Amino acid sequence: MADEVRLGLIGVGRIGKIHAEHCAQRVPGARLEGIADMVLSQEQESWAKGLGVRVLARDPQDMLQDPAIDGVVICSATDTHADLIIAAAAAGKHIFCEKPIDLSVPRVKAALAAVQKAGVTLQIGFNRRFDHNFTRIRERIQAGDLGTVQLIKITSRDPAPPSPAYVAGSGGIFMDMMIHDFDMARFQAGSEITQVYAAGAVLIDPEIGRAGDVDTAIVTLTFANGALGVIDNSRKAVYGYDQRLEVFGSKGMAIAENDLPNRVTLSTAGGVTGEKPLHFFLERYKEAYIGELVSFVEAVLHHTPAKVSGEDGLENMYAALAAGKSLKEKRPVFIDEVRAE
Amino acid sequence: MADEVRLGLIGVGRIGKIHAEHCAQRVPGARLEGIADMVLSQEQESWAKGLGVRVLARDPQDMLQDPAIDGVVICSATDTHADLIIAAAAAGKHIFCEKPIDLSVPRVKAALAAVQKAGVTLQIGFNRRFDHNFTRIRERIQAGDLGTVQLIKITSRDPAPPSPAYVAGSGGIFMDMMIHDFDMARFQAGSEITQVYAAGAVLIDPEIGRAGDVDTAIVTLTFANGALGVIDNSRKAVYGYDQRLEVFGSKGMAIAENDLPNRVTLSTAGGVTGEKPLHFFLERYKEAYIGELVSFVEAVLHHTPAKVSGEDGLENMYAALAAGKSLKEKRPVFIDEVRAE
Amino acid sequence: MADEVRLGLIGVGRIGKIHAEHCAQRVPGARLEGIADMVLSQEQESWAKGLGVRVLARDPQDMLQDPAIDGVVICSATDTHADLIIAAAAAGKHIFCEKPIDLSVPRVKAALAAVQKAGVTLQIGFNRRFDHNFTRIRERIQAGDLGTVQLIKITSRDPAPPSPAYVAGSGGIFMDMMIHDFDMARFQAGSEITQVYAAGAVLIDPEIGRAGDVDTAIVTLTFANGALGVIDNSRKAVYGYDQRLEVFGSKGMAIAENDLPNRVTLSTAGGVTGEKPLHFFLERYKEAYIGELVSFVEAVLHHTPAKVSGEDGLENMYAALAAGKSLKEKRPVFIDEVRAE
Amino acid sequence: MADEVRLGLIGVGRIGKIHAEHCAQRVPGARLEGIADMVLSQEQESWAKGLGVRVLARDPQDMLQDPAIDGVVICSATDTHADLIIAAAAAGKHIFCEKPIDLSVPRVKAALAAVQKAGVTLQIGFNRRFDHNFTRIRERIQAGDLGTVQLIKITSRDPAPPSPAYVAGSGGIFMDMMIHDFDMARFQAGSEITQVYAAGAVLIDPEIGRAGDVDTAIVTLTFANGALGVIDNSRKAVYGYDQRLEVFGSKGMAIAENDLPNRVTLSTAGGVTGEKPLHFFLERYKEAYIGELVSFVEAVLHHTPAKVSGEDGLENMYAALAAGKSLKEKRPVFIDEVRAE
């Protein structure tokens, strides 16, 4: 494993397929050795062979027991993540796992304990930390260009709401959607969230309300270092995927605007028109999906800490749980209240 | 008074001087007849004559008793506003009064009752409603271009903090600074604020903290029509006066960016650099200061309601008081709690 | 005349009316003493009195002979400019004259000779030199931020073509419209134009072609200091008045984008839409019209050279004549060829 | 060859290496079968095998004679292009050839005649036609959003000049650099250039002047359909690779701004700073390099005309030659003059 990480990928749904192609072709130092899924169509087998994959398995254990595989990329259903992490850790494999680790705190803790014990690398798929815009702001902060961070504002809106069925199983807007923004806020602040206050409303789809969730939310954050933050989420921005970030500090402010498909504006008698943002997460975070795997492979090769740890996954989850509690109890909630539960 | 409103202006401090020049030269239908101030230097008298002013008085009563004066523009110290409004109303004069009406709710109510009884026009100086950017967004909302309003986000940051002495007498950040933003939020929402939650911190100047105030704040709003809002204030944005607004609705989103002194960008080996925002409120809201007086004079001439009423002033004050209470009691506060006090 | 310049204004057409109001109210150190026009309606007289004007005359000579008038602002028809300049110079009055001085080179030279002999200040109304954007770029050049100027690009397009009747008497697109851009090019380059090559076409209105003119033109410039330039003109930009400038040098590039009525963008399912440029020259150059008079009054008060001299007017005219000659003769033309004619 | 085009690539310099990787991994329907270069290092052989290449050759003929290769991608030195095109055509292979075809018109004509006779597909590597920005403007034109095209303005500036040695063999700025812009102008206009006028100067590097070339140029274009155009080139823009396009028509105007590495701006006390353009052609046109190969493969598979034909290559060359002649003879030059030579 001197200069190469041999990977097995588990679960070839939409995101699994993308990760597989990246591992095979776009990640220096990675080699895609195996793919496992409960069902593999003939088309999928042919696609996998085109990527140079050696092992095709129905059972992930086939890869976990393979000594010529160094790590796994877990892209299967959320409720399988914790068990797969535990099994992979037991087998001594490094682990890249899609978010969330699990919807249950005890199961997450069990998974992290297994990783800790095995001493393997675990990285969670909070891919936005690898976005070119957000990375650039973080660099500016670390370079001192913004001075002390005082305010973080995150706008995060989806182009269209998911189905009510999806919402029902998603853990709710805070666990399913805003968890990315909690991660971004912590990443930029370089500090943990200590308290949240959530305001929410059902303004888009009454079905979402009937499923016990909200579709619009504003959450105020307090950080351990004294900074404040605010995140707004909407399940439906008709103009497209709206992913903006603003960090305000004692020496300056940085804003990341949306990425656009092109830089053309049209001026007519009716006005000056530009493009809407890139459609959705697959388009917007295309390079970030590669970046997170590059980072994971580097961490494994150089024995450095993963840039998004299992503990990050747990902290993000606490923030989401606290936001849910705040919305329900109509009061600000300390993260420590949730930790203690 | 057929086609002209003859005005007397009270208090020629910084803003009074500007209002006087506007009344004399820039407001169609207005005539500046008189100026009153406790002290008028020779230079001020000469300046006033250059504006064609007929009456120069030490005592505002000289103007209030003058039958050739139709209305007054009150620019004196805050603690004189309520009494002057009551006296002017008693004298049957129309009233334009700088914000705030007063820092005490009972005194504000007394002033509004006097105006109500006299049947005169009262307009409060929430000038930002007349800003070209914010007006444009309100027009878009009213035209239906944004659909139902769901989220309102206001960024409002000053270039430099006031002196601790000023802070001490200002009523605090919510009453002194964010009150403008509460007014803007209500103006854009077309709906009253029902609840606020305030997070605040002292991140800029410990003196401000010692004066019992915060210098950085994020306030979440709930509106009667179901929409949500959030305002952030900072007493010190090193890059200048940051006054932005974003309204998000079911059919679209409108953003007002900062006004700039020019539209030049410089591209060098070091990057692409543009201008900072216009320096402060006198520059940024220059035209809005004219616009509010134009609007007041039109309301008087056409017997139409003032665009910023005394009740607006009171509602903004309730929001500011509720925010202060929220910050102190660390919980969301209903406006009705404050109204009932 | 110690600290004030007493002005008489000649010709109260559209631009004359604007200059009069500026002289009366917006130009420090200026006093509008008189107004002369062949015909003055009762409404105009009333307007003039409102501005505090002392002298109302049908004959400009009434003002030229008035010892209490220090200078004149000539806004009458183009064919009266030269004679009025000569008369005003003879009377020892300082002169602000709208562009162009005249359409005939010998008459321009005669006017300049009279000014030279009298030793009075003459400023020509090339107002764009006082635009906040273009001034900012010139400052950057003079500060050395762009290094040596290598390329100047000017976009100058009107929102709608003038009437064919106007075109016929205008001297053509180069003398009527592009002359402003020749002035801007010379101003930014800090160097004289030595050669031009004009390409032109009739793409908008065949009537303009029948009047012997073009409505679309691209002119390449060579400057004495070695820099190159290019100007494009169109008589009809459906999206509005397009006035942009780009200067490229050894150390950087500066671009001035169009001024907009507000800074609002609307994002909908259809795209992101912003405002069209400010409508036309009165809106776009509103402050520049004040700025040029402020500059003229300062030049008179401080005995400094006018910022746009009569010689500038003549040089701009040579460039326009050379461009016309180039278009006709289908070849690059040296300015010296035109000078020698 | 039913649903796949098997390609052999000739010349693995910088651009050849990139094309090879694209053919192997990023172009649907393409298969990279072979690579030929006079010298292939062990590292290159290893790299080629990693791409799944079957044939490694020193002599391109090995691929031209291989019946399992359908087409070639010519990336070798310019002076080999024409002979390779002729040989490939004779062998019945489809041809993608980097620009320029050759620096000699007779040799280009000979190559095109060979292609014509063989009936194979030939596409020239004018990759900018596949840029997302420029493509978007062309689509807008074709959709009628701009109405009749009246003016085309192209800004094309390199971040740093090439070595004098390169310049000497490059054919000069018009043939080496502006030829891309002539192609873009023709592409956007949908019409041929009929006349050019070139102004040029040596403002950056005297060595370039001594090599008989200019480093700064402005060329005015006249199109057969009556539109006008202008291109400016500089060999050194200190702020980076400046690639902008503006098309002005009877119904509107479209502008393509530069692509940036990210969408972050930093606001500090010193101003508001954004990113410089993407560094150079490999970064800016990264996707366009893939797009042109995708287009070539589609043309071959579907028997449709190549989007950039050999005739396009010849027309671009005529424009470059005419511009050179114009600069030398200091007069506008008709393309027909050059055609007739």
**Which pLDDT does position D1 carry in this prediction?**
45
Spans of chain B below 70 pLDDT:
1-2
Residue of A nearest to D138 (CA): A264
Mean pLDDT over each residue of chain A, to the nearest integer? 96
- Position C168 pLDDT exceeds 90: no
Residue of C nearest to A240 (CA): C269
* Most A-contacting residue of B232, B239, B246 (CB-CB within 10 A), to test interface: B232
Quick check: A197 contacting B, CB < 8 Å? yes
pLDDT in tens, A280-333: 999 999 999 999 999 999 999 999 999 999 999 999 999 999 999 999 999 999
Quick check: A250 contacting D, CB < 8 Å? no
Instruction: Give the Cβ contact number of residue C339 at 10 Å.
Output: 13
A265/chain C closest Cα distance in angstroms:
9
* Most C-contacting residue of D193, D214, D223, D238 (CB-CB within 10 A), to test interface: D238
What ipTM was assigned to the predicted interfaces of this complex?
A: 0.95
Residues in chain C closer than 8 A to D220 (CB atoms): 197, 199, 218, 220, 230
Q: Is D204 helix (H, G, I), strand (E, B) or coil?
A: coil
Residue of C nearest to B137 (CA): C264
Residue type, D90: A
Instruction: Give the Cβ contact number of residue D75 at 10 Å.
Output: 24
A162/chain C closest Cα distance in angstroms:
18
B283/chain D closest Cα distance in angstroms:
17
**Which pLDDT does position B50 carry in this prediction?**
87
What is the rounded distance in angstroms from the CA atom of residue A41 to the CA atom of residue A245?
41
C291/chain D closest Cα distance in angstroms:
25
**Which pLDDT does position C3 carry in this prediction?**
87
Quick check: B266 contacting C, CB < 8 Å? yes
D239/chain B closest Cα distance in angstroms:
4
Residues in chain B closer than 8 A to C136 (CB atoms): 261-262, 264
Quick check: A201 contacting D, CB < 8 Å? no
Residues in chain C closer than 8 A to B267 (CB atoms): 252-255
- Position A144 pLDDT exceeds 90: yes
pLDDT in tens, C103-142: 999 999 999 999 999 999 999 999 999 999 999 999 999 9
Residues in chain D closer than 8 A to A256 (CB atoms): 262-264
Residues in chain D closer than 8 A to C337 (CB atoms): none
- Position C324 pLDDT exceeds 80: yes
What is the rounded distance in angstroms from the CA atom of residue A59 to the CA atom of residue A62?
6
Counting one residue from chain A and one from chain B, the pairs whose CB atoms sit within 8 A come to: 102
Inter-chain contact B132–C25, Cβ cutoff 8 Å?
A: no
Inter-chain contact A267–D259, Cβ cutoff 8 Å?
A: no
**Which pLDDT does position B2 carry in this prediction?**
61
Mean pLDDT of the region A211-239 = 97
Quick check: D267 contacting B, CB < 8 Å? yes
**Which pLDDT does position C248 carry in this prediction?**
98
B-contacting chains (≥3 CB pairs under 8 Å): A, C, D
Quick check: D110 contacting C, CB < 8 Å? no
Quick check: B250 contacting A, CB < 8 Å? yes
Mean pLDDT of the region C225-242 = 98
Quick check: D332 contacting C, CB < 8 Å? yes
Residues in chain C closer than 8 A to D153 (CB atoms): 155, 232
What is the rounded distance in angstroms from the CA atom of residue D231 to the CA atom of residue D188?
13
**Which pLDDT does position A234 carry in this prediction?**
98
| 3-state helix/strand/coil string of chain C | CCCCEEEEEECCCHHHHHHHHHHHHCCCCEEEEEEECCCCCHHHHHHHHHCCCCEEECCHHHHHCCCCCCEEEECCCHHHHHHHHHHHHHCCCEEEECCCCCCCHHHHHHHHHHHHHHCCCEEECCHHHHCHHHHHHHHHHHCCCCCCEEEEEEEEECCCCCCHHHHHHCCCHHHHCHHHHHHHHHHHHCCCEEEEEEEEECCCCHHHHHCCCCCEEEEEEEECCCCEEEEEEECCCCCCCEEEEEEEECCEEEEECCCCCCCEEEEECCEEEECCCCCCHHHHCHHHHHHHHHHHHHHHHHCCCCCCCHHHHHHHHHHHHHHHHHHHHCCCEEHHHHHCC
Confidence of residue A2 (pLDDT cuts 50, 70, 90): low
Spans of chain D below 50 pLDDT:
1
The closest CB to that of C276, out of A239, A271, A274, belongs to: A271
pLDDT in tens, C20-78: 999 999 999 999 999 999 999 999 999 999 899 999 999 999 999 999 999 999 999 99
Quick check: D250 contacting C, CB < 8 Å? yes
- How would you classify the pairing of strands C30-36 and C55-57? parallel
Quick check: B46 contacting C, CB < 8 Å? no
Among D residues 15-34, those touching chain A with beta carbons less than 8 Å apart: 25
Looking up tokens 């095995």 gives A118
- Position A103 pLDDT exceeds 80: yes
Beta strands in chain A (DSSP E): 5-10, 30-36, 55-57, 71-74, 94-97, 122-124, 149-157, 193-201, 216-223, 228-234, 242-249, 252-256, 264-268, 271-274, 333-334
C-alpha count within 13 angstroms, C-beta hemisphere, residue B31: 16
In terms of C-beta distances under 8 Å and separation of at least 24 residues, what long-range contacts does B213-218 make, across chains too?
Answer: B213/B167, B213/B170, B213/B172, B213/B173, B214/B173, B214/B327, B215/B161, B215/B173, B216/A150, B216/A151, B216/A228, B217/A228, B217/B173, B217/B174, B217/B178, B217/B323, B217/B327, B218/A151, B218/A220, B218/A228, B218/A229, B218/A230
Inter-chain contact B140–C268, Cβ cutoff 8 Å?
A: no
Inter-chain contact D230–C232, Cβ cutoff 8 Å?
A: yes
- Position A1 pLDDT exceeds 80: no
Q: Is B271 helix (H, G, I), strand (E, B) or coil?
A: strand
The pTM of this model reads: 0.96
Quick check: C264 contacting A, CB < 8 Å? no
